[in-house]
């Protein structure tokens, strides 16, 4: 049994997340994203690797989307409406509500502003979203008889989820993007301790370790305040959803405290509408935000206005939230062109920018600089740049914590940069001892899985397993040094509940486990005891007080002899419990006793003639299982002659 | 908790007014009369039922009568299926021996909590007006007082079989509610809660009310589904998810709605004429209407919508005539649906009539409904996806078409109050809360309208407000599975066994089913005639070590199995125990069957042994034992007596060879 992982996107890179996982015959596509850095065929995952015949509906059991970011959902309308996938799609309620906004916004940017040929239409988005089944956190969904999936809170953005998938005994978790520390509006990722064969985790910040967020928030507020105080304009390019709300909460709160009157604008209706969703879906934010809803919904921003294009060149300070976040086009680029040449203005950059975007160029640039957009357009950049270092992604510690918590048998890293991923991989393997892989795009990987044999178990078997099985072990104090003597109790009690039973396999029936008695009863057979016995002669020389023993060994002498043997056996067989029961010695099933029966049937091979007074017969009997032990005892008693 | 029991009490007005005066008067006169006519109780018993005969005291509530007889520490798990089903929970959780886990869906827990808090605040108000009860046993519970009650009331107090008196309890306190909520574990729909490692408990939407649910319980041994009152296509809540209950071993069928409907039917017959003012009655049609083949046809939903529209149009008519509308309905889903309809209807009629929602928890309730799209029906969820606000009441609140007030006497309400108006409030059996005051105000107004949910005994409920000129519209909303549908449902669910409530016996009749079934009734332990093996997972590591032997007689492979049993997430799992244990104490081999002496002889001869058979007979000539003597390669003797064989040999090797030969002719494990 194996899990097969086919990485279609985000393999050793960030962008177009898409992994197809096959578990016991069920095929699940996790995320269906697009790459923001490419405009050609490379922007979509190579779907042809899933099915040569392009019959995607039949070759996939379901699609799971972790959150509404375009690099996780951007290719979905294309895949369902153009490529024709028609099967089930799962995402959380907020993702289902917010994804159409993201997709529509992206489509508009592509078609209206860039003048590109559209990859999918508005109707495509609507039709695509109709196929989506919304799920709640922790809701366990039976996709079909065998495939079970479940969403867990991932932080990152509203509605982001990690997904657990299980088929038979094999189970995996695909994390999507997640955050292990709570931020201003979202909680930290949360998951149960699960038995997993594989975890596929993002690794955007595979080597970064971040300090407290509080400091970085203050730096941001200070930079914004300084700029508006001197009459500058602040451009905050962000994703419309998530980061915008977080920063806005931060600013709204700060404006309130500092009694600032400078307007804060949201570009376009998109973010305003997004705020409405945040209000309805407040249960998906952090506990702190949730607790305040009865009095005032935290997403009812007091100081926020909507922006009008005519305000771009209006005089006076202002703060503007505009999409897209990496200034890759759209309104944020339009405003950037206007505001960048002025030193008074401030542009904030998100923590991560895809290569090729203006944002990415600005990150490494030294101000003042010039940025070439295309053949004709070049922008003089003189404004201040503030890099936001709070990211909704987990840092390396968070990844390690999660992997350690889940302790899967294998880990696959995706959604990161190769050199950093290599470092993290080494760390996971060396520190946690978990096999780790980082497949590239289009690579396929096989991972062995857990498998259990299913059997029926009778009540009696289960009961016998659950009843306590106490063992008392005496500590041999002679073996211990002084320091141990004090700490180790002389008697230790164990409760080793070892389950023993009989597994039966019959044609056309599933295996069944019963206990021994039931088994015998069911078959209608009786136990047949097989024993071994041996009666042998031992020459006993007169002991120290030989003079007093002219006669046959008396009972008392026999007793003391037996006692002598028992002591000897005790010494020689320290692992066994030697029971001295007056008339005989018992060790496990081996019974040793004197034999006075001249015609004992177990005396074989030796002549029965001479009856020496100093000769004694011992009769031993035992069951087959203790055969080896029994012969050791026989040998030991025979040795008595030599010893004494 | 049985809220209908409230009806035997005098209404509690929220401000001092005429009825309060009446009440006191009637109390004292009754007492006086009681003393005087003590001799002739027959006379008192036949006293006609009127407003004065109601009990003038802080209401008590009838709860599960045997709750007190239970040792609550024996309860492991409590499952709450709906907000209404939670009202009695504090009676249980406040018991100091209570240690069970309580599970409820998030929405049920929140709405249930708000309802309990509302009820508690009603009582707080009562005590503010009339002072607290002097003792645990109030005046009316004394025998001589009880004997003076009219027959109808006594029947309610003592129950139909006269055993219910012990179930009457004073209401719990706010602290009880708070402590109770701390013991409730909240679940999402279909979230797997694992109880004690062995039981997986899941809530699935039942469609009755926002957050209400059915339960799936599964363990290694069997799975049980609990089906409470369920609605296939709900008008407000997420619909009945019956697919999730498929193929369970046992279904505990607990939807009583169809028998309530029939009970209702009887009651109507008994007191026909009493509720003479009913001008329309929508009840019992749906109960007895033609069965539907499919569970999910729209008919039920459309019917429900029609009812709501009817209420709406009646209300509009009534307002046109200058009357006001009072809608005391406890079901939040119905309230939300009606609000939506009023928003549309009033706007289309171009009427500007204020709508008041009066309840101590109105604000919290409405705020809560705005943030739980996950628990709503598809139609409302679709609004979320298409970018519309979930409910129009958000808009109505903003532009002053809808007002939320905690109580009738709040200053703000008095300032904004205008009539005609539409008022939504909790019903509390028309005895508690704002409904009392408004009924007193409007009962004489023939243009006003009271919309009541069926289920209340209208005659008794309206008793204190008679004579009623006000119109009364009694509606029954879909509140469960219709009997015809339930047959179809069970066919789809394919359980192995079904437990029906005893009171449904007459409706079920002889069923031709693939599943077995029997009936359960109050206070009777039911044993389900059904046995199954537990399921066991054996890890591959352990399975690989198994050594199979084939039995001689049967076509069966067997293997000794040894490991460590774990219970993980509702499954038994057998792991490889640690190695030391496995190797150090091998279990003795067990032989079974009978020895065929000839086979054994042949086997020994094959091993180059010189063996001879000797039969030993006892003194009486009876067969005693068989002995096989081996002379070559060394001396040995095998004695076979029935189910025992003894090998005697001086040589270890030959003993071992012989014992192997014996194992060869016997079955062993």
Terminal CA-CA length for chain B? 60
**A60-74, A78-92, A201-215, range with the lowest pLDDT:** A201-215
pLDDT digits (tens, 9 = 90+) for B599-615: 888 888 888 888 888 88
> Given B167, B186, B205, which residue is the final one in a domain?
B186
Instruction: Tell which residue, A641, A644, A593, A579, has the closest CA to residue A621.
Output: A593
Instruction: Tell which residue, A178, A185, A176, A241, has the closest CA to residue A217.
Output: A185
Average of pLDDT values for A560-567?
82
CB-based contact A283:B375 (threshold 8 Å) = no
Same domain, B100 and B247: no
Total domain count, chain B: 5
Q: Assess if residue B266 is contained within a domain.
A: no
pTM of the model: 0.84
Instruction: Tell which residue, B266, B212, B220, B263, has the closest CA to residue B240.
Output: B212
Round to whole Å and give the CA distance between B373 and A83: 32
Same domain, B346 and B438: yes
CB within 8 Å: B548 and A505: yes
Tokens 């306590």 appear where? A468
Question: Is B554's Cβ below 8 Å from some Cβ in A?
Answer: yes
Question: Is A573's Cβ below 8 Å from some Cβ in B?
Answer: no
Question: Among A13, A202, A246, A518, which one carries the catalytic annotation?
Answer: A202
B503 or A7: which carries more pLDDT confidence? A7
**A275-289, A597-611, B285-299, range with the lowest pLDDT:** B285-299
Instruction: Tell which residue, A9, A418, A416, A439, has the closest CA to residue A205.
Output: A416
Average of pLDDT values for A430-449?
95
Kindly state the tokens that stand for B454.
Answer: 């069926």
Same domain, A262 and A306: yes
**Minimal C-alpha gap between A130 and chain B (Å):** 9
What confidence category does residue A524 fall into, taking pLDDT thresholds of 50, 70 and 90?
A: confident
Residue B261 pLDDT exceeds 70? no
What confidence category does residue B467 fall into, taking pLDDT thresholds of 50, 70 and 90?
A: confident
Same domain, B309 and B456: yes
Instruction: Tell which residue, A130, A129, A135, has the closest CA to residue A153.
Output: A135
Same domain, B329 and B467: yes
Residue B291 pLDDT exceeds 80? no
Average pLDDT, chain B: 82
Residue A607 pLDDT exceeds 70? no
A397 or B35: which carries more pLDDT confidence? A397
pLDDT digits (tens, 9 = 90+) for A400-416: 999 999 999 999 999 99
What confidence category does residue B285 fall into, taking pLDDT thresholds of 50, 70 and 90?
A: very low
CB within 8 Å: A503 and B643: no
**Minimal C-alpha gap between B253 and chain A (Å):** 23
| Residue in A456, A465, A532 closest to B535 by CB | A456
Cis status of the peptide bond prior to A389, with omega within 30 of 0: no
Same domain, B544 and B615: no
Round to whole Å and give the CA distance between B572 and A643: 55
Chain B contacts of A624, Cβ < 8 Å?
A: 588-589, 591, 659, 663
What confidence category does residue B37 fall into, taking pLDDT thresholds of 50, 70 and 90?
A: very low
Residue B282 pLDDT exceeds 50? no
CB-based contact A509:B558 (threshold 8 Å) = no
Interface A-B: count of C-beta contacts within 8 A: 244
Instruction: Tell which residue, B225, B187, B16, has the closest CA to residue B106.
Output: B187
pLDDT digits (tens, 9 = 90+) for A305-323: 888 888 888 888 999 988 7
CB-based contact A474:A45 (threshold 8 Å) = no
CATH number at residue B462: 3.40.50.10890
- Which of A171-185, A263-277, B157-171, B510-524: highest mean pLDDT? A171-185
Helix/strand/coil (H/E/C) assignment for every residue in A610-642: CCCCCEEEEEEEEEHHHHHHHHHHHHHHHCHHH
Chain A contacts of B644, Cβ < 8 Å?
A: 528-531
**Minimal C-alpha gap between B558 and chain A (Å):** 4
pLDDT digits (tens, 9 = 90+) for B615-641: 887 767 677 788 888 887 788 888 888
**A128-137, A457-466, B217-226, range with the lowest pLDDT:** A457-466
> Given A336, A352, A387, which residue is the final one in a domain?
A387
pLDDT at A271: 67
CB-based contact B202:B569 (threshold 8 Å) = no
pLDDT at B30: 42
pLDDT digits (tens, 9 = 90+) for B384-439: 998 888 899 988 998 899 999 999 888 899 999 998 999 999 988 888 889 998 99
Q: Assess if residue B63 is contained within a domain.
A: yes
Same domain, A404 and A360: no
Q: Assess if residue B332 is contained within a domain.
A: yes
Which residue segment(s) compose the domain that A185 sits in?
2-209+392-448
Round to whole Å and give the CA distance between A224 and A219: 9
Most B CBs within 10 Å, among A503, A524, A535, A590, to test the B interface: A503
Same domain, B428 and B371: yes
Chain B contacts of A526, Cβ < 8 Å?
A: 592, 643
Average of pLDDT values for A249-254?
87
CATH number at residue B518: 3.60.15.10
Same domain, A225 and A314: yes
CB-based contact A373:A379 (threshold 8 Å) = yes
Question: Is A93's Cβ below 8 Å from some Cβ in B?
Answer: yes
Residue B8 pLDDT exceeds 80? yes
Residue B62 pLDDT exceeds 80? yes
**Three-class SS of residue B31?**
helix
| Residue in B188, B559, B573 closest to A503 by CB | B559
CATH number at residue A324: 3.40.50.10890
B156 or A446: which carries more pLDDT confidence? A446
What confidence category does residue A213 fall into, taking pLDDT thresholds of 50, 70 and 90?
A: confident
What confidence category does residue A483 fall into, taking pLDDT thresholds of 50, 70 and 90?
A: low
Q: Give the other-Cβ count within 10 Å of A163's Cβ.
A: 26
Burial of residue A521, with CB atoms counted within 10 A of its CB: 0-12 exposed, 13-18 middle, 19 or more buried: exposed
pLDDT at B289: 35
Q: Which of residues 196-225 of B touch A (CB under 8 A)?
A: 202, 220
CB within 8 Å: B373 and A525: no
Q: What are the φ/ψ torsions at residue B11 (nearest 5 degrees)?
A: -60, 150
**Minimal C-alpha gap between B2 and chain A (Å):** 31
Same domain, B559 and B631: no
Average pLDDT, chain A: 85
**Minimal C-alpha gap between B198 and chain A (Å):** 13
Question: Is B616's Cβ below 8 Å from some Cβ in A?
Answer: no
Same domain, B204 and B182: no
Q: Assess if residue B410 is contained within a domain.
A: yes
| Residue in A450, A502, A535 closest to B561 by CB | A502
**Minimal C-alpha gap between B252 and chain A (Å):** 22
Determine the Cα angle at A43 with ends A38 and A49, to 5°. 145
> Given B475, B494, B522, which residue is the final one in a domain?
B475
What confidence category does residue B43 fall into, taking pLDDT thresholds of 50, 70 and 90?
A: very low
Which residue segment(s) compose the domain that B242 sits in?
188-258+480-532
**Minimal C-alpha gap between A99 and chain B (Å):** 9
> Given A492, A523, A554, which residue is the final one in a domain?
A523
Same domain, B323 and B236: no
What ipTM did this prediction achieve? Answer: 0.84
Same domain, A510 and A623: no
pLDDT at B264: 37
pLDDT at A269: 59
Average of pLDDT values for B346-353?
89
pLDDT at A358: 85
pLDDT at A487: 59
pLDDT at B20: 41
Residue A556 pLDDT exceeds 80? no
Q: Assess if residue B570 is contained within a domain.
A: yes
B517, β-bridge pairs: B498
A506, β-bridge pairs: B556
Residue A196 pLDDT exceeds 80? yes
The length of chain B in residues reads: 669
Residue B36 pLDDT exceeds 50? no
CB within 8 Å: B370 and A528: no
Residue A605 pLDDT exceeds 60? no
What share of chain B has pLDDT > 90, as a percent?
Answer: 34
CB within 8 Å: A605 and B372: no
Chain A contacts of B194, Cβ < 8 Å?
A: none
Round to whole Å and give the CA distance between A406 and A413: 15
Antiparallel, parallel or unpaired: β B199-205 and B193-195: antiparallel
Chain A contacts of B667, Cβ < 8 Å?
A: 525
* Residue of chain A with shortest Cα separation from B574: A499
Q: Give the other-Cβ count within 10 Å of A264's Cβ.
A: 24
Question: Is B593's Cβ below 8 Å from some Cβ in A?
Answer: yes
What confidence category does residue A429 fall into, taking pLDDT thresholds of 50, 70 and 90?
A: very high
Same domain, B177 and B161: yes
Chain A contacts of B534, Cβ < 8 Å?
A: 456-459, 462
Total domain count, chain A: 4
CB within 8 Å: B645 and A530: yes
Same domain, A402 and A379: no
Same domain, A365 and A220: yes
Most B CBs within 10 Å, among A530, A537, A604, to test the B interface: A530
Q: Assess if residue B5 is contained within a domain.
A: no
**Three-class SS of residue A455?**
strand
pLDDT at B524: 86
> Given B186, B201, B230, which residue is the final one in a domain?
B186
Chain B contacts of A170, Cβ < 8 Å?
A: none
Q: Assess if residue B380 is contained within a domain.
A: yes
Same domain, A158 and A34: yes
Catalytic residue check, A375: no
What confidence category does residue B11 fall into, taking pLDDT thresholds of 50, 70 and 90?
A: confident
Same domain, A338 and A418: no
> Given A358, A387, A416, which residue is the final one in a domain?
A387
Q: Assess if residue B8 is contained within a domain.
A: no
pLDDT at A586: 86
Same domain, B562 and B429: no
pLDDT digits (tens, 9 = 90+) for B191-236: 999 999 899 999 999 999 999 999 999 988 889 999 999 999 888 9
Q: Which of residues 461-500 of A touch B (CB under 8 A)?
A: 462, 465-466, 496-500
Question: Is A502's Cβ below 8 Å from some Cβ in B?
Answer: yes
Average of pLDDT values for B473-479?
87
Residue B119 pLDDT exceeds 80? yes
Determine the Cα angle at A72 with ends A67 and A75, to 5°. 125
pLDDT at A401: 96
């Amino acid at each position: 049994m194996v899990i097969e992982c086919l990485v279609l996107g985000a393999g050793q890179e960030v962008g177009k997340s898409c992994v197809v996982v096959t578990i016991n015959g069920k095929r699940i596509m996790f995320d269906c994203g697009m790459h923001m850095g490419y405009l050609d065929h490379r922007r979509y995952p190579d779907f042809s690797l899933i099915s040569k015949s392009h019959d995607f509906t039949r070759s996939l059991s379901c699609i799971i989307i972790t959150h509404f970011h375009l690099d996780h959902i951007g290719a979905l309308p294309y895949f369902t409406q153009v490529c024709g996938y028609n099967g089930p799609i799962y995402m959380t309620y907020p993702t289902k509500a917010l994804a159409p906004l993201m997709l529509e916004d992206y489509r508009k940017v592509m078609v209206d502003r860039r003048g590109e040929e559209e990859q999918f239409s508005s109707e495509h988005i609507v039709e695509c979203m109709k196929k989506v089944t919304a799920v709640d956190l922790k809701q366990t969904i039976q996709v079909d008889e065998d495939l079970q999936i479940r969403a867990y809170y991932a932080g990152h953005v509203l509605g982001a989820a990690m997904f657990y998938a299980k088929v038979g005994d094999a189970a995996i978790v695909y994390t999507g993007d997640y955050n292990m520390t709570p931020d201003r509006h979202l909680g930290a990722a949360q998951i149960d301790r699960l038995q997993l064969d594989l975890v596929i985790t993002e690794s955007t910040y595979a080597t970064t370790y971040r300090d407290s967020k509080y400091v970085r928030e203050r730096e941001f507020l200070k930079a914004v305040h300084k700029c508006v105080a001197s009459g500058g304009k602040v451009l905050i390019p962000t994703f419309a959803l998530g980061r915008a709300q977080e920063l806005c909460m931060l600013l709204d709160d700060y404006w309130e405290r500092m009694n600032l009157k400078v307007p804060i604008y949201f570009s376009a209706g998109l973010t305003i509408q997004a705020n409405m969703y945040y209000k309805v879906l407040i249960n998906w934010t952090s506990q702190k935000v949730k607790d305040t809803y009865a009095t005032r919904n935290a997403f009812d921003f007091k100081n926020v206005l909507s922006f009008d294009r005519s305000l771009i060149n209006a005089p006076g300070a202002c703060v503007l939230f505009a999409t897209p976040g990496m200034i890759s086009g759209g309104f944020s680029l339009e405003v950037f062109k206007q505001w960048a040449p002025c030193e008074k203005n401030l542009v904030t950059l998100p923590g991560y920018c895809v290569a090729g975007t203006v944002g990415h160029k600005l990150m490494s640039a030294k101000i003042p600089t010039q940025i070439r957009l295309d053949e004709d357009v070049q922008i003089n950049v003189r404004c201040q740049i503030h890099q936001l270092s709070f990211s909704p992604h987990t840092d390396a510690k968070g990844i390690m914590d999660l992997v350690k918590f889940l302790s899967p048998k294998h880990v696959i890293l995706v959604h990161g940069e190769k050199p950093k991923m290599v470092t993290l991989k080494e760390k996971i393997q060396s520190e946690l001892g978990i096999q780790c892989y980082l497949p590239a795009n289009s690579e396929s990987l096989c991972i062995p899985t857990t498998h259990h044999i299913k059997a029926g178990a009778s009540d009696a078997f289960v009961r016998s397993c659950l009843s306590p099985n106490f063992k008392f072990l005496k500590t041999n104090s002679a073996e211990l040094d002084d320091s141990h003597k004090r700490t180790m109790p002389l008697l230790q009690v164990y409760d080793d509940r070892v389950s023993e039973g009989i597994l039966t396999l019959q044609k056309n029936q599933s295996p069944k486990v019963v206990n021994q008695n039931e088994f015998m009863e069911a078959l209608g057979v009786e136990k047949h005891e097989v024993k071994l016995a041996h009666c042998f002669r031992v020459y006993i020389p007169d002991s120290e007080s030989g003079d007093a023993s002219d006669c046959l060994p008396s009972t008392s002498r026999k007793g003391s002899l037996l006692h002598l043997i028992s002591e000897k056996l005790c010494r020689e067989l320290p692992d066994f419990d030697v029971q001295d029961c007056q008339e005989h010695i018992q060790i496990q099933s081996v019974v040793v006793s004197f034999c006075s029966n001249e015609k004992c049937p177990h005396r074989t091979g030796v002549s029965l003639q001479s009856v020496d007074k100093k000769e004694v017969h011992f009769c031993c009997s035992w069951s087959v299982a203790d055969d080896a032990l029994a012969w050791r005892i026989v040998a030991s008693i025979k040795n008595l002659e030599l010893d004494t | 908790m049985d809220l209908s029991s409230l009806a035997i009490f005098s209404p509690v007005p929220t401000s001092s007014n005429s009825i309060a005066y009446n009440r006191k008067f009637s109390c004292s006169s009754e007492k006086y009369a009681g003393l005087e006519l003590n001799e002739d109780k027959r006379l008192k018993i036949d006293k006609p039922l009127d407003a004065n005969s109601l009990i003038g005291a802080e209401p008590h509530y009838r709860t599960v009568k045997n709750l007190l007889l239970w040792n609550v520490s024996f309860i492991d798990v409590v499952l709450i299926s709906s907000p209404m089903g939670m009202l009695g929970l504090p009676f249980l959780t406040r018991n100091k021996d209570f240690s069970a886990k309580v599970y409820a869906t998030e929405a049920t827990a929140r709405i249930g909590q708000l309802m309990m808090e509302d009820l508690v605040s009603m009582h707080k108000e009562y005590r503010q007006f009339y002072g607290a009860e002097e003792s645990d046993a109030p005046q009316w519970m004394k025998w001589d007082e009880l004997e003076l009650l009219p027959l109808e009331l006594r029947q309610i107090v003592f129950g139909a079989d006269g055993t219910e008196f012990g179930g009457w309890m004073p209401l719990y306190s706010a602290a009880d509610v708070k402590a109770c909520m701390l013991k409730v574990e909240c679940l999402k729909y279909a979230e797997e809660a694992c109880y004690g490692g062995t039981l997986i408990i899941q809530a699935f939407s039942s469609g009755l009310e926002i957050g209400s649910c059915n339960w799936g319980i599964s363990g290694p041994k069997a799975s049980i589904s609990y089906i409470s009152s369920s609605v296939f296509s709900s008008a407000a809540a997420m619909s009945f998810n019956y697919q999730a209950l498929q193929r369970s071993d046992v279904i505990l069928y607990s939807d009583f709605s169809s028998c309530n409907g029939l009970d209702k039917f009887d009651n109507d017959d008994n007191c026909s004429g009493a509720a003479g003012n009913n001008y329309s009655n929508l009840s019992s049609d749906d109960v007895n209407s033609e069965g539907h083949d499919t569970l999910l046809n729209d008919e039920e939903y459309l019917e429900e919508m029609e009812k709501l529209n009817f209420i709406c149009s009646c209300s509009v008519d009534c307002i046109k005539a200058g009357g006001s509308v009072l809608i005391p309905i406890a079901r939040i889903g119905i309230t939300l649906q009606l609000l939506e309809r009023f928003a549309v209807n009033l706007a289309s009629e171009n009427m500007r009539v204020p709508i008041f929602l009066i309840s101590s928890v109105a604000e919290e309730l409405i705020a809560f409904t705005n943030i739980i799209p996950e628990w709503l029906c598809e139609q409302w969820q679709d609004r979320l996806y298409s970018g519309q606000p979930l409910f129009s009441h958000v808009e109505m609140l903003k532009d002053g078409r809808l007002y939320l007030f905690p109580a009738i006497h709040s200053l703000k309400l008095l300032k904004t109050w205008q009539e005609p108006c539409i008022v939504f409030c909790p019903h509390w059996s028309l005895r508690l809360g704002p409904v009392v005051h408004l009924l007193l105000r409007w009962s004489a107004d023939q243009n006003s309208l009271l919309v009541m949910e069926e289920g209340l005994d209208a005659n008794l409920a309206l008793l204190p407000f008679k004579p009623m000129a006000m119109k009364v519209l009694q509606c029954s909303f879909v509140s469960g599975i219709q009997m015809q549908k339930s047959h179809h449902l069970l066919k789809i669910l394919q359980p192995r066994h079904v437990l029906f409530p005893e009171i449904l016996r007459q409706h079920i009749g002889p069923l031709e089913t693939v599943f077995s079934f029997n009936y359960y009734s109050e206070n009777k332990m039911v044993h389900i005639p059904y046995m199954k093996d537990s399921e066991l997972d054996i890890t591959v590591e352990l399975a690989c070590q198994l050594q199979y032997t084939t039995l001689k007689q049967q076509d069966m492979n067997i293997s000794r199995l040894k490991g460590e049993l774990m219970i993980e997430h509702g499954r038994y799992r057998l792991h490889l125990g640690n190695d030391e244990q496995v190797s150090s104490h091998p279990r003795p081999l067990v032989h079974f069957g009978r020895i065929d002496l000839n086979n054994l002889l042949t086997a020994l001869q094959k091993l180059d042994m010189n063996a001879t058979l000797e039969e030993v007979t006892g003194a009486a000539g009876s067969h005693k034992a068989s002995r096989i003597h081996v002379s070559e390669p060394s001396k040995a003797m095998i004695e076979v007596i029935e189910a025992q064989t003894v090998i005697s040999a001086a040589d270890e090797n030959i003993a071992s060879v012989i014992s192997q030969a014996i194992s060869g002719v016997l079955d062993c494990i």
